[in-house]
Amino acid sequence: MDQILRINMGADGGPSVRTEPLGDYAGAGGRGLTSAIVSKEVPPLCHPLGEDNKLVISPGLLSGSTAAMSGRLSVGCKSPLTGGIKEANAGGQPSQMLGRLGYAAIVLEGQPKEKTLYKIVINKDKVDIQEDNSLCMLGNYDTVDKMKSEYGDKIACISIGPAGEMKMAAASIACTDMELRPTRHAGRGGVGAVMGSKGVKVIVIDDDGMKMRQPQDPEAFKAANKAWVAGLKKHALTGEALPAYGTNVLTNVINEAGAYPTNNFQKGQFEGASNISGETQAELEDARGGKGASTHGCHRGCIIRCSGTFYDKNGKYVSKQPEYETVWSHGGNCGIDDLDAIAQIDRLDDDYGLDTIEIGAAIGVAMEAGLAEFGDAQAAINMVKEIGKGTPLGRTLGNGAAVTGKTYGIERVPVVKGQAMPAYDPRTVQGIGVTYATTTMGADHTAGYSVTANILDVGGTVDALKPEGQVELARNLQIATAAVDATGMCLFVAFAVLDQADTFQALIDMINAFYGLSLTADDVTELGKSILKNEREFNQAAGFTAKDDRLPEYFKKEALPPHNITFGVPDEELDQVFNW
């Protein structure tokens, strides 16, 4: 995995392709590589949808190998939603396949001079770029079905739906899972709009004939991978809770903690939470049956298997098992406690190519504006369909919660740097509030998941309701997360890594055995810091200042029931997060 594939969509005479060695980017992968390329090659003040922006797609350092959990894909660019640097992360098959094909990154550059849609087909022999306007405004499901009919069922696809073609700021990029369904999304920050601005509808990946990537020290790698798997399986969250109930196991936990944002962040508890909890969801899925119902992996090599498959009451496939953030955004945040309705919306989001967090937040804002009543599931479904049609209302919602709030004059808009907050209220999980405020990505729980120590007692305990200790917690988790994102590992491995020193060491041992290195824990920390440094410098050059590292004012003024507290971490402490 030592090549960068550069595709210039704006070259004279049509799109051009070239490969080059990693060069100055040697040793980088995943988020480490996407952020390095974007920070070095993209002008910070460029228009996110213009020809100077680049879309970088990168598997992780261990993707394409037999390392368990190593199939995450990073997608980077300047974000049309935040105006800053962006890394969005997805599961599915593409990361492993790109790794086996030897590509450390695909870089989409330039912009077509004509309004033409392209498909890109990558295999071991060539990279083929073809005009295909028959794909225009197709949903992700139909796009993938069309590619499957043309190229067989051993492929993987990276695609956009109508939202990406319409360059909506909440547009996602879909990756196919093991069943060739476009259910795994690089969702955040409008990366799908950037892919749409490059005129690329779908990238088809075929790794037929390619073998697994081989470590430099096979025996040491095998031993480390074995210890790694054992560590993940023995942890209560990665070995028991997530496989049994999926990510939605968090609904009851966060609701009981009074941190479950309800009715557009007006309350911290939702009366209907038990109706849409992970336990209820798993029971429903098991009762309806079907392959992969309540337990399913999003890519080969996944051993946590926190996903599932949602079937309707007649046994017909609807969508992947809606994940915690999706169940919250389209559920409690909008006052909806109907799993069938939420799954239907999840299917629409995946098909249109939309970030479920951003769209659920936008609908919550619209409901507060009076466009519908909280709890009206059919109204929420209709709003998402408006996005797919590209109507004026649809384009407003499809450009996210901040735009929706401005359009309808709503003050309570839960965003930082223009990006919507996920499913944890920062007033009752103060550590995640620090992450939301300060991460380079805009409000993003995955950038530094302080819920670990604030709520789950993983990696220690920091009182979620008090400001003390939250800055250090968020700082350390942002550093660690950046490093994990570079490896291609699923972020859920962090639970076991934070609690079990031997599991963390097994991960380091795997990387060392694979690359012939002698990294230490301190080296991993330095990797995370270097990634954050690249991202911070890009954002500063793009015009961001300390004033952008803040939560909306109402979180400091409006006390959240049931604890009736506000966000209490002072601004001057937020400014110390990156002082390491």
Average pLDDT, the chain: 95
The whole-angstrom separation of Cα 522 and Cα 265 is 39
C-alpha to C-alpha distance for 332 and 578, rounded to whole angstroms: 33
Q: Which of 150-159, 173-182, 301-310 has the lowest mean pLDDT?
A: 301-310
**Claim: this prediction has a pTM higher than 0.95:** yes
Region 258-263: mean pLDDT is 98
Closest CA to 101 of 236, 246, 203: 203
Q: What is the mean pLDDT of residues 237-245?
A: 87
The tens digit of pLDDT for each residue in 358-413 reads 999 999 999 999 999 999 999 999 999 999 999 999 999 999 999 999 999 999 99
Cα 249–Cα 253–Cα 258 angle in degrees, nearest 5: 145
Give Cβ neighbours of residue 438 (< 8 Å, ≥ 6 apart): 474, 478, 549, 574, 577, 578
pLDDT of 38: 98
- Fill in the DSSP letter of residue 274: G
Catalogue all structural domains in the chain, each as residue range(s) with its CATH number. Answer: 3-205 (3.60.9.10), 257-424 (1.10.569.10)
pLDDT at 292: 66
> Minimal CA–CA distance to 458: which of 498, 430, 489, 431?
498
pLDDT category, 141, cuts 50, 70, 90? Answer: very high
Q: What is the DSSP string of 44-83?
A: TTS-TTSTT--EEEEE-TTTTSS-TT---EEEEEE-TTTS
pLDDT at 300: 74
pLDDT at 345 over 90: yes
Question: How do residues 27-55 score in pLDDT, each as one tens digit?
Answer: 999 999 999 999 999 999 999 999 999 99
**Residue 294, pLDDT score:** 62
In tens, the pLDDT along 463-521 reads 999 999 999 999 999 999 999 999 989 888 889 999 999 999 999 999 999 999 999 99
The per-residue pLDDT for range 295-330, each reduced to its tens digit, is: 777 777 788 878 889 999 999 999 999 999 999 999
d(CA 81, CA 191): 9
Q: 186 forms bridges with which residues in the sheet?
A: 173
Closest by Cα among 101, 43, 102, 33 to 73: 33
DSSP result, 248-271? GGHHHHHHHTT---BTTTTBS--T
Binned at pLDDT 50, 70 and 90, residue 154 comes out as very high
